[in-house]
Amino acid sequence: ETGVTQTPRHLVMGMTNKKSLKCEQHLGHNAMYWYKQSAKKPLELMFVYNFKEQTENNSVPSRFSPECPNSSHLFLHLHTLQPEDSALYLCASSQEFLAGGRFGELFFGEGSRLTVL
């Protein structure tokens, strides 16, 4: 139990569906992240929120839309996805998003396994 909870753990959706992934952290952290882990690539950073403000958008297609209503919750809204978007989506949190070491220790959730048909 890392203190970061992701739901759903598994999601199957069609290309025209709209769905959302949810992440909640119980660690009192101020930074939250979405990573994508696919079969063909290493962990890819998608978005970073620091104190509810988006600080990183790593050239992610607009069919992925993040939302951070407060420091404890992070959503990833999905719309008109493609089969190549099938992957494990990992949420993480850290105390703050700062340079170097204080950024370093990320606490990950167990991921949401997404399959796009």
String marking each residue 65-94 x if it binds other proteins according to CB under 8 A: -----------------------x-x-x--
Distances, alpha carbon 26 to alpha carbons 71, 76, 107, in Å: 10, 18, 11
Helices (H), 1-117: 101-104
Which of residues 17 and 56 has its CB atom nearest to other proteins in the complex? 56
Tell me the C-alpha distance between 4 and 73, whole Å: 10
Q: Which residues bind other proteins (CB under 8 A)?
A: 2, 4, 33, 37-43, 45, 48, 55-56, 88, 90, 92, 97-101, 103-111
